[in-house]
Every structure is written in C-alpha cells, then in structure tokens.
A and B are shown apart, each in its own frame.
Chain A
Amino acid sequence: MDVHGLTPDRQLDLGDIPAGPDLFLLVRNALQRTEQGQILELISTVPQIKNDLQSWCRLHRHRFLMALDGGDHYRFLIRSGTAALDKPDWGIRLPLRKGGKLDIRDWFEGRVGELREHASSYVGFVPRGAVAEPGIPDFGFTLNRKDDVWSDNLLDLYEQAKAGQWNATEDIDWEALPQLPEDLEWAVCQIMTFLAENEYSALYIPAKFMARINPHYIEALMYLSTLIQDESRHIEAFTKRALAGGGGLQYSSTLTERSLHSLFIQEDYFKSSFLLHVLGEGTFLDLLTFIEQHSPDPVTRQVVTLAKIDEGRHVAYGIGHVRHILQQHPGMAKALVEAADERNEYLNGADAGDNSHVMEALAILAGGGRDPGRLKAGFIQVGKLKTVMYEHRVQRLLQIGLDRETAEAISKSHTPNFM
C-alpha cells in the first residue's frame, strides 16, 4: 500500500506490550475514541504482534492498513471501521460559591446539565453526562419522565436537608429530661409510639419508589435519600424519647396500621407523593406543632421541633412536585380525588374503630393531666387541632393548584388517623 496520503489521526505507543488482553484492551479503547474512517497509528517494539493485530482487526471490523519498519520499532496503521463513542466533556470547571462551597445547583454544566424531559430507559447506572457504550440492558425503571419526580424546589431542599441533619444521639439534651407525673409520661410515650409508627411508613414508601426512578434524575434520588435518612432519625428519636423517661412504647391501633397500609399499597408515585407528603406529612406538621406547644418537658419539645423542621422540607417537596405536575397536566387533579377516595373506601371497608389511645394521650397532654377537668379541657384543645388541621389541609390543596370545592371535599374526607 502507498504510504502517501495516510496521516494518522491518533497515536498509541504500546512499547513492548505483547499480544494479549492488555494490548487489545488499549487498542480497542483507542479505536473507540477514533472517528470511523480515521487512522490510528500504533507504535510497538514487538514485531510479532503484526499478524495478531491483523486478525483482531478483521474480527472487530477495523481495517489493518500497513506495517512500517522504523528500525528499533514498528508502526502499524489501522483505519477505524466502527463509529466512535460520543465525546465526553473535558475542561469544564464549576464555579464556587462564597466560602469555597461547591453547590449542587451549580453543577448543571455541559453534558451533566442536559436534563431531559424524558429519559431513555436504556440508561442503566451511567451517570448523567458520562458517555455510554451501546448495548446497555433495560434496568426496568418506570419513572422515566422529569414530571414524574421533579420539583422546582428539589435542589434547594437537597442543600437544606444536608445542612439540617442532626444526630439523635448527641444533639438532643437527654440529661434535661425530668421525672414527669406518670399520666403525662404515659401520654408522651403513647404519642411517641404513634409518631414512630407513622414515620415507618414515611421511610418505606419513598424507599419503595426510589429503585423505580430513572437515574437520569439522580438529584431526585439524592433528595429522597435525605428524606429517608430524616425518617429513620425520627423513628430513632421518637423511640428513644419513649424509652428515656422509664416509660416505653405503648399501643398501636388497627386504624393506624390500616391507614398506613393504604398508603403503602399505592403504586402510583404521583398519587403516593400526594397522599404521603401533601396530605399525610402536611397534617403531621400540625400535629407536631400541637405537641410542641403542649410539651411537658424540654426533651420532648426539642425532639418534636427538630423533626418538624425536617417534615417541613418533605411537605415542600410534595407540594412542589404535585403542583409541578398539575401545572403541566391540569387533568391530573382527578387522579388526586380518586386517590383520596380509594383510600377512604379501603379504610371504611372495615370497622376499625378510632385512634382512641392517641386521642386520650393528646387530651392528657393538652389538658395537663388525667383528672376529669383537665381531660375535658384537653379534648377541647384536640378538637381545635382538628379544625386547624382541616384548614391547613385546604390551604395546602389550594397551594398545589386545586380549586376550593375539590380542596374542601378532599380535606373533609381525610382519614381520622391524621397521616
């Protein structure tokens, strides 16, 4: 072959590496970075690799053009017969914020910044921005659209969540826990049991959906993982508070379990996000505020206050996510009414009674004791709590974009379990 007119586009010095796995790996990678039709020049001091390279090229669709004797080395020219992989990014430097902070809100640059409305289902665990070889298997992700999981405040919430992590072992002033009158200690223990129980569902339900989310939307997974860490910390803190004062975990009602099960079996992420974050955790916020107000000791107050800050982020994600979807697809509001109805139908299907132990505990807490006068005053406070919960629910439903009539209908039918 005439050597004139052949200009290598890329060069690879193989030194004295013999024909074998390492050599073919290097040649293969170099050819993947070489455009189809372009020429790769290999430099080697091992003459015997020539014939092996020729056969390798034939089997892998490349064209071995020629071998040149350079005296103390050989040059082999190969024309790439396959399409090169896309070019990855190179040379992108992210800006730092004040104090040298590298914020996730600033990483949407180059290929990493190409956030699609609809992600390919053949994405595997290829990080968004990386270049994938063809032939990735289908991992079976089902939440493949940005609308499915995204929320405009997602990145803000993620940064806040990381900064707001706390440690239930040492950030609570456990030494400040006083010896409470037994009635009050029981009420706190019963309430902590109920709170922990609800947080189990708030941990399991997002976790169930995480493996279905397309990794293209990794930021949603990052945020949800903070949410799950929050919930596990809450379970820890609520349980510790029940045990710390010498009481213990108390009663769980069938109604609570049925109510949480109805959330757990929801397989639609949009509906689940609405039921859990907007309705459930929204109402939970009001409950935490109530406990905070009537807390008989500083430790209970501190635990509840810290949990409330975390829950506020969860509700904000739910409202942001559901509102985002309703803005794009107003017709989806029907699905929310449907979700609330389905849940009520399930809960009304059996006579599960009332959350009687929790109600009693809340009345004791608010009234300040178990004697009839205090209980009576306490129940009046619990009644007011229900009114506040109703009103706030309506407000949150208006915030996500529902009309008042729908908002009131959903809020009225919300489960007496609060969550």
Chain B
Amino acid sequence: MGQNHTLLIGAVAYDPKVIPIWDIIREYYRKHDFALDYVLFSNYEAQVDALLEGFIDIAWNTNVAYVRIQRRLEGKAKALAMRDTDIGFTSKIIARTDSGIESLADLKGKRLALGSADSGQAAILPYHYVKTSGIDPEKDLTLLRFDLDVGKHGDTGTSELEVVRALREGEADAGAVGDSTWIRLLEQGQVDTREIRAVWTSPDYSHCNFTALPSLDDALAERFRELLFAMDPADPDIRNMMEMEGLNEWVKAEGAGLDGYRVLFDAMADQGL
C-alpha cells in the first residue's frame, strides 16, 4: 500500500530459534501487505552501529544496546514497542542457604558470582543495586565474573547457568541472575530451594525494545506498530513465535516501560560502560 521501502529490522542471532521467530514475523507482515525483512547480527555492538549508520531501520535491542544508542543520539531515538514481559523485569540475588546470606547487607565479605559483563540482568544492574545499597563491590566482595557469550548481552543465559553452577558447587556464596532464568530453573526443578534460594529481588526495570532512529517515517512506524499489536496469539504460528520469543503480547514503549530504562543509564555511566 504505497510502501516503496522494505522496512529492515535487525536482530541478534543468540540462538537457532531466532530464525523461525523472524521468519514468522516477516511472513505475518507480508500477509498484511507490509514489506519487511530482517538481518541477523552476531553481536549487539554491530547492530547498534548498523542502526546508527542507517543500514537497518529498526533494531530489536536489549536494554544495554538501547542505552548505547540513546547516548549516541542524545536521547532522540524512538522506542517503538516491547514485549509485555520486558516491563517489570527484575534481577535476583540468589544465595546458598548455608551461607547465612538473607539480605544485601549480608553479602559483605562474601563471594558474589556475576554473569556476562554486558548482561544487564546478570551483571550491570545487580552490581549497581549492590553498590547503591552501600556495599562497594570491588572492596567488600570477592567478585567472580563469568563472561560468556560477550556481545549477546546475556541473551543466551549461559552465564547465568554458570552462576547457578558456581553456587551449587560452592565456588560462590551468592550470585546474580535475571528473574526469568531463575523462575525457569525453579519450574524445571533444576534448583533445589533447600540449597539455593533467592534472597533479594531488585526493583523493576525494562528489558528489550524495538529502537528506531528519529528519522524513521512516522506513518511507516505507526503501521509497523499497528500490525505488531494486532498479532493474534490464537494463530498457531503467532503463538509459536510468541512462545519462542517469550511474550504474551506486544505493548507500546511508554510510561513505566520507558521509565524502566533510567536505572540502566545511571548504572552504565557509573561503571564506564
């Protein structure tokens, strides 16, 4: 319908399922006469550059990538939409039950395991929250960092599994993981809460979003969003995609959803990231 430009979306290939996810999304848009294609990147830094250079129109970004783009564009990038599950995301501090750790204050003098250095949920934000609670992570704690899959911003979850493993094997007393990983491990029975328990939950923050340059055509962006929000989970393909991508519905990036990125701006500035 008068669209003479194929909207190009960038996503990071952190798992083989990323391909069927985006094939389904592309097919859905094509069915609605909206020309859309996608490009996969091996890491978020390359995707950030591609968006800034205008090679892609929209980037499916982690919160860390979003913050980097906003800093480069002085806050002018547009956040178009996010998953319902991207809002109210939290990190958990988990601890061995025999460590005596019941709160953040108890971490003093203990060994804390962190996930990948570029993971918002498993490293950057937990570090920030511990620090703002009055503990100096560099002096008061022994940090164990598991920098796996750097460039994927924690998407693969492998570093969080390493954190849990380190606790289980007694290498660390406490660790940081995202709540979705933690709940999945509990649901699957991979953690015994008699051995390891979540002792602290961070305030809510936001996770991923669709980020666009300020120059993206408003009408095009609006049509992209309309179709996104109109996806019907009763459609077996859409349902399949939503399960793989971990959402129940797409929502606008506004209000609490947007406010949820503020803490990460502070954390990254403080940590020089």
User: Which A residues are in CB contact (< 8 Å) with B70?
Assistant: none
Contact B188–A18 (Cβ < 8 Å): no
Q: Are A24 and B186 in contact (CB under 8 A)?
A: yes
Which of the 9-residue segments B21-29, B33-41, B84-92 touches chain A?
Answer: B84-92
Q: Interface residues of B toward A: which range?
A: 20 to 34
Main secondary structure of the interface of A (DSSP, over half): loop
CB distance from A172 to the nearest CB of B (A): 53
Would you call B197 and A48 a contact (CB within 8 A)? yes
Asked if B1 is an interface residue, CB under 8 A from chain A, the answer is no
Number of interface residues of A (CB under 8 A): 20
Q: Is A55 an interface residue (CB 8 A)?
A: yes
Q: Which residues of the other chain, B, contact A54 by a CB distance below 8 angstroms?
A: 201
B176 interfacial by beta-carbon distance below 8 Å: no
Give per-residue flags for B213-243: 1 if the beta carbon is below 8 A from chain A beta carbons, else 0. Answer: 0000000000000000000001010010000
Query: Which one of A56-64, A233-241, A250-258, A336-344 is at the B interface?
Result: A56-64
* B255 within 8 A of partner (CB): no
B248 CB within 8 Å of chain A: yes
Kindly state the separation between the CA atoms of A138 and B248 in the bound complex, as whole angstroms.
22
Does B45 touch A at the CB level, under 8 Å? Answer: no
User: Which of A18, A61, A134 meets B239, CB within 8 Å?
Assistant: A134
Report chain A residues within 8 Å CB of B201. 51, 54-55
Task: Confirm or deny: B179 has a beta carbon within 8 angstroms of a beta carbon on chain A.
Answer: yes
Complex: how many Å from CA A52 to CA B90? 11
Q: Which residues of B contact A82 (CB under 8 A)?
A: 248
Query: Is B198 located at the chain interface by the 8 A CB criterion?
Result: yes
In the bound complex, residues from chain B placing their C-beta under 8 Å from that of A19 are 186, 193
- Does A181 lie at the interface of the complex (its beta carbon under 8 Å from any beta carbon of B)? no
B194 beta carbon closer than 8 Å to chain A: yes
Q: Which B residues from 170 to 201 make CB contacts under 8 A with A?
A: 179-180, 182-183, 186-189, 191-194, 197-198, 201
Task: Show the binding face of B for A, using Cβ within 8 Å.
Answer: 84-85, 88-90, 92, 179-180, 182-183, 186-189, 191-194, 197-198, 201, 234, 236, 239, 248
Chain A residues packing against B (C-beta within 8 Å): 18-21, 24, 48, 51-52, 54-56, 58-59, 61, 82, 122, 134-135, 137-138
Inter-chain pairs besides A51-B201, A58-B89, A58-B90, 10 sampled, C-beta below 8 Å: A20-B191, A20-B193, A21-B186, A52-B182, A55-B90, A55-B92, A56-B187, A59-B180, A122-B236, A137-B236
The 5 listed contacts between A and B (C-beta, < 8 Å) are: A20-B191, A55-B92, A55-B179, A56-B186, A134-B234
